[in-house]
């Protein structure tokens, strides 16, 4: 199982460093329902990652993701494909980065976060973890890497749980800050939000470039 966890650590960090979902978490923590919406968002985020992982692992096991001498050939090709897609997303993020003093455009849905109730906060967590293209690609890659190690179903589930928990650190951090610092939290969270919004594109481009290149390299090595 250690090999599986080692394989997914880079992908888990990639999920954890998600500037826009972190900004969304901060916005929920400055709303009227902060104490309920913040934890609800984390629950939705974990649930979304869990669903993607469960589906991928259930598909990968009967498809024969592992062979006696390592990952199956289709897993190596899948890693190459996912790596290439991540590189394309990285290129799009880099080309869309703000230049100079230009202010980055915030997604329109963020304006509605202040009016969210806990149910909508859970839905937002699911959407941003499971349906976000970057996170979806990384979760699929993590599940494929775990299945390719050939460990038992229970160990696969545990390895993916480690991936999901590490991938939740980024969005959970603002919630922890909110409850731990009390009245001092809004100022720190406001600074975090501003920095994440302005640097989102560059952070994502560099991160996806590194992880995409790693996946392509792993895929080529497995062929």
pLDDT at 9: 93
Token reading at 31: 């709303």
Least confident of 39-43, 108-112, 215-219: 108-112
Q: Is the pLDDT of residue 12 over 80?
A: yes
Nearest-Å Rg of the Cα atoms of the chain is 18
Full DSSP string of 157-204: HHHHHHHHHHHHHHHHHHHHHHHHHGGGHHHHHHHHHHHHHHHHHHHH
pLDDT at 63: 58
Q: Is the pLDDT of residue 69 over 90?
A: no
Tell me the mean pLDDT in the region 150-175.
93
Q: Is the pLDDT of residue 196 over 90?
A: no
Cα separation, 172 vs 41, whole angstroms: 9
Looking at every residue in the chain, the average pLDDT score rounds to 88
The 10s digit of each residue's pLDDT in 120-152 is: 999 999 999 998 889 999 999 999 889 888 888
User: Which letter, b or e, does each residue of 127-138 get, where b requires 16 or more Cβ atoms within 10 Å of its Cβ?
Assistant: bbbbebebbbbb
């Amino acid at each position: 199982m250690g090999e599986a966890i080692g394989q997914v650590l880079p992908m888990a960090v990639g999920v954890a460093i998600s500037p826009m979902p972190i900004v969304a978490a901060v916005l929920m923590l400055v709303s009227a329902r902060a104490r309920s919406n913040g934890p609800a968002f984390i629950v939705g985020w974990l649930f979304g990652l869990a669903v993607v992982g469960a589906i991928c692992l259930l598909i990968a096991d009967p498809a024969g993701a592992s062979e006696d001498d390592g990952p199956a050939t289709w897993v190596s090709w899948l890693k190459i494909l996912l790596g290439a897609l991540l590189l394309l997303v990285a290129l799009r993020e880099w080309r869309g980065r703000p230049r100079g003093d230009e202010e980055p455009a915030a997604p329109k849905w963020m304006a509605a976060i202040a009016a969210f109730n806990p149910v909508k906060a859970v839905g937002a967590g699911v959407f941003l973890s499971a349906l976000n293209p970057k996170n979806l690609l990384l979760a699929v890659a993590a599940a494929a890497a775990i299945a390719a190690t050939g460990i038992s179903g229970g160990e696969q589930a545990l390895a993916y749980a480690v991936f999901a928990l590490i991938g939740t650190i980024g969005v959970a951090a603002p919630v922890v800050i909110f409850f731990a610092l009390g009245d001092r939290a809004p100022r720190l969270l406001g600074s975090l939000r501003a920095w994440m919004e302005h640097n989102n594109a560059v952070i994502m481009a560099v991160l996806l470039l590194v992880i995409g290149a790693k996946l392509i390299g792993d895929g080529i090595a497995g062929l």
